């Protein structure tokens, strides 16, 4: 990649600035347009250089805003030539507000990516934050990355900037966002490199595509090349369905022995579903475990507890390899409007090619391995996207409903045919059971028979111990001592700022860390808190959305005060602090961020010179939460041994 600048702009009613920092070093460029300073000519010279040299702008949500404003400035250079600085900044501000309004109305931007003269790396799009389920602000990302200054704009855009101090405040805020974006860009290095490789290999400019869009566009490209169809034509077609009778899409080889599962199967076959998420929802109790079925997948678990393998008993797990793509391949599925040729391309040119490349190990082509993985996974998700060329909701239900029933078949075969076996948990693509070790051959035979019927492949893991809070929250310890953590216990990706977890809430990371240390490393919560002096692990994050605002209510010098805080605020539990309260501006409702006696201290700005003891952490709060989580798994200290089965 050529020289690239991480950039951000601020557009106020009488002030504009652009801050650009070279992503390889700390070279910084600042351009200001204000009645006291007019850097328009220098700004245009910089932007012209970016275009001429093929340099990149890197930012967060730049394509929808920053790059739009910048392109408008480039296009309007002649018009602005004879304007005063005050007129120029008013002109830019008005256009920026129009762009913001278009976004809020979900209208298209003035310029599509191809119409932007300066090449963009938009981390917001790359990380899929356009998806409503993952939509995330840069402020929340700053909190998730433990950034030293989680700062929202301290001056409203409608405020007239008059003083040098105000100018400095806005520039410093803009610079802070640029530096935070630069850190995020470094965390995204592998994602950016993958998009470069795919662009180079397939000629698809996917630098600003999410993984799902990469998969969809790769599939589209290959499909059109194989069928000699035009992309624009294919993008116009889809299969729209109002209702789907599930009896018409259930695989004929799905059969059960038990009354419980036959009752479930009859209910499913009788169902007619639409396109809404809650349309498919069933529950079935099987041998004391309640299994929940939904459009998104299957979930079920025993009561919480600690489950140890012993000389006599074994905890073993099996998962279906690439379940949804392989269900489609095994059953020759395809969106109706794309025909069987789509299935043949999907199988032969996507999935099979990827697996052959993956088998090469380190010498395999990463663009094929990861790009085709995205392509193979994208069909299922996009089949339920009314805006996608892959849309066919029947395909969605045929995949997920049959997948859940197939896993149920495996559960039934294992539990009914292995004496004294116990179902621990089940999810969309796997089953965990406890069996006697002398039944291991029976276990594998049942699994192989199931593979023969379904044409799917199972992968196995044996666990030394499982610490289960519920279906979505557990720690599994493999026989070699390595661990797998899910849900509440999945602290490590957040600790390492993995881009896949930045949109999640990492509040009070010290709690799952301490619970993990207790069970895995035999370290008491008191010992762990004594050793952990990372203030960020003790911090929580809170968002105030819509009509809600966040207030700090406290006492200072004997006087009660109330202060409005940022929409995104970082805080910790302290002995001497205040109460953080969400207030609804419309109806006056108030909700404590932390109920009860606990006080909080806002900590948006990190002070690295402050010693840990100075934070005045209220360890009682954290200990109470840690011991509550331990009790959720190991109530009253009673470990559930396998012999109870």
**In this structure, what is the dihedral angle of CA atoms 365, 371, 373, 378, given to the nearest 10 degrees?**
-170
β-bridge mates for residue 592, sequence order: 581
Give per-residue pLDDT as tens, 436-460. 999 999 999 999 999 999 999 999 9
User: How does strand 568-574 pair with strand 599-602?
Assistant: antiparallel
**Whether residue 1 has pLDDT greater than 60:** no
Confidence tier at 543 by pLDDT (50, 70, 90): very high
Confidence tier at 635 by pLDDT (50, 70, 90): low
**8 Å CB contact between 273 and 244:** yes
- Quote the percentage of the chain above a pLDDT of 90: 84
User: What pLDDT is recorded for position 522?
Assistant: 95
User: What pLDDT is recorded for position 364?
Assistant: 84
> Can you give the residue ranges of every domain in the chain?
4-187, 211-237+325-390, 244-323+396-486, 525-636
**Whether residue 99 has pLDDT greater than 90:** no
**Whether residue 104 has pLDDT greater than 80:** no
Give per-residue pLDDT as tens, 17-70. 999 999 998 899 999 999 999 999 999 999 999 999 999 999 999 999 999 999
**Whether residue 624 has pLDDT greater than 50:** yes
**What's the average model confidence in pLDDT over 100-125?**
86
pTM: 0.92
- DSSP single-letter state for residue 107: P
**Whether residue 163 has pLDDT greater than 80:** yes
- How many residues comprise the chain? 645
Cα distance between residue 449 and residue 437, in whole Å: 20
User: What pLDDT is recorded for position 407?
Assistant: 97
**What's the average model confidence in pLDDT over 81-94?**
94
CATH 1.10.10 fits 244-323+396-486, yes or no: no
User: What pLDDT is recorded for position 154?
Assistant: 92
How far lies 90's CA from each of 11, 55, 85, 96, 136, in Å? 9, 28, 9, 10, 29
CATH fold group of domain 4-187: Nucleotidyltransferase; domain 5 (3.30.420)
**Whether residue 278 has pLDDT greater than 60:** no
**Whether residue 158 has pLDDT greater than 70:** yes
**What's the average model confidence in pLDDT over 537-565?**
92
**8 Å CB contact between 49 and 2:** no
**Whether residue 102 has pLDDT greater than 90:** no
**8 Å CB contact between 504 and 487:** no
User: What pLDDT is recorded for position 192?
Assistant: 94
**8 Å CB contact between 500 and 524:** no
User: What pLDDT is recorded for position 644?
Assistant: 32
Cα distance between residue 590 and residue 361, in whole Å: 56
User: What pLDDT is recorded for position 369?
Assistant: 85
**Whether residue 110 has pLDDT greater than 90:** no
- Nearest partner of 460 among 323, 321, 358, judged by Cα: 321
Give per-residue pLDDT as tens, 328-355. 999 999 999 999 999 999 999 898 888 8
**Whether residue 636 has pLDDT greater than 50:** no
User: What pLDDT is recorded for position 641?
Assistant: 36
Identify which of 49-53, 103-107, 130-134, 555-559 has the greatest average pLDDT.
49-53
CA-based diameter of the chain, in Å?
89
**Whether residue 645 has pLDDT greater than 90:** no
**Whether residue 638 has pLDDT greater than 70:** no
Mean residue pLDDT of the chain comes to 93
610 vs 634, higher pLDDT:
610
State in Å, rounded, how far the first CA of the chain is from the last one: 60
Confidence tier at 470 by pLDDT (50, 70, 90): confident
Confidence tier at 559 by pLDDT (50, 70, 90): confident
User: What pLDDT is recorded for position 471?
Assistant: 83
- Nearest partner of 568 among 141, 220, 217, judged by Cα: 141
Confidence tier at 105 by pLDDT (50, 70, 90): low
**What's the average model confidence in pLDDT over 225-252?**
94
């Amino acid at each position: 990649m050529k020289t690239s600048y991480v950039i951000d702009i601020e557009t106020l009613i009488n002030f504009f600035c652009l801050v650009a920092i070279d992503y390889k070093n700390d070279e910084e460029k600042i351009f200001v347009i204000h009645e006291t300073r007019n850097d328009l000519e220098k700004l245009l010279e910089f932007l012209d250089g970016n275009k001429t040299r093929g340099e990149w702008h890197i930012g967060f949500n730049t394509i929808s805003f920053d790059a739009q404003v910048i392109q408008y400035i480039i296009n309007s250079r002649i018009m602005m030539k004879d304007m005063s600085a005050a007129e120029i900044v008013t002109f830019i501000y008005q256009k920026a507000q129009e762009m913001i309004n278009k976004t809020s109305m979900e209208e298209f931007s003035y310029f599509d990516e191809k119409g932007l003269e300066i090449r963009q790396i938009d981390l917001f799009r790359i990380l899929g934050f356009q998806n409503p389920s993952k939509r995330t602000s840069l402020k929340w990302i700053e909190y998730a990355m433990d950034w030293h200054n989680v700062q929202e704009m301290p001056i409203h855009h409608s405020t007239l900037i008059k003083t040098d101090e105000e100018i400095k405040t806005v520039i410093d805020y803009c610079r802070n966002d640029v530096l935070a974006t630069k850190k995020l860009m470094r965390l995204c290095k592998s994602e950016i490199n993958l998009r470069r490789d795919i662009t180079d290999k397939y000629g698809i400019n996917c630098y600003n595509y999410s993984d799902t869009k990469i998969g969809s566009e790769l599939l589209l490209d290959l499909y059109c090349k194989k069928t000699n169809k035009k992309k624009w034509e294919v993008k116009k077609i889809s299969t729209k369905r109002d209702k789907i009778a599930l009896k018409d899409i259930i695989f004929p080889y799905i059969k059960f022995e038990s009354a419980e599962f036959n009752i479930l199967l009859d209910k499913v076959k009788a169902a007619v579903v639409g396109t809404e998420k809650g349309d498919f929802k069933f529950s079935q109790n099987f041998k004391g475990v309640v299994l929940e079925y939904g459009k998104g997948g299957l979930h079920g678990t025993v009561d919480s507890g600690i489950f140890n393998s012993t000389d006599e008993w074994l905890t073993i797990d099996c998962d279906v390899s690439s379940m949804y793509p392989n269900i489609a391949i095994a059953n020759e599925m395809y969106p109706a409007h794309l025909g069987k040729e789509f299935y043949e391309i999907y199988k032969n040119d996507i999935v099979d090619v990827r697996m052959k490349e993956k088998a090469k190990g380190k010498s395999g082509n990463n663009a094929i391995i990861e790009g085709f993985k995205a392509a193979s996974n994208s069909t299922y998700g996009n089949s339920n996207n009314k805006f996608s060329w892959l849309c066919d909701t029947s395909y969605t239900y045929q995949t997920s409903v049959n997948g859940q029933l197939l896993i149920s078949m495996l559960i039934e075969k294992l539990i009914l045919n292995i004496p004294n076996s116990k179902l621990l948990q089940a999810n969309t693509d796997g089953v965990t059971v406890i069996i006697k070790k002398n039944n291991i051959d029976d276990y594998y035979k049942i699994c192989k028979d199931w593979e023969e019927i379904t044409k799917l492949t199972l992968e196995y893991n044996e666990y030394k111990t499982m610490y289960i809070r519920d279906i979505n929250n557990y720690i599994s310890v493999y026989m070699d001592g390595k661990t797998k953590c899910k849900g509440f216990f999945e602290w490590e990706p957040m600790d390492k700022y993995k881009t896949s977890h930045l949109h999640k809430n990492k509040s009070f990371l010290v709690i799952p860390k301490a619970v993990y240390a207790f069970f895995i490393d035999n370290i008491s919560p008191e010992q762990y808190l004594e050793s952990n002096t990372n203030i960020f692990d003790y911090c929580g994050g809170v968002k105030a959305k819509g009509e809600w605002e966040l207030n700090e209510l406290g006492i200072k010098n004997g006087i009660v005060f109330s202060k409005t805080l940022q929409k995104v605020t970082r805080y910790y539990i302290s002995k001497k602090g205040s109460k953080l309260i969400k207030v609804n501006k419309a109806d006056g409702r108030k909700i404590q961020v932390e109920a009860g006696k606990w006080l909080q201290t806002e900590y948006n700005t990190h002070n690295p010179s402050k010693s840990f003891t100075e934070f005045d952490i209220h360890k009682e709060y954290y200990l109470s939460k840690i011991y509550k989580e331990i009790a959720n798994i190991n109530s009253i200290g009673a470990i559930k041994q396998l012999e109870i089965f």
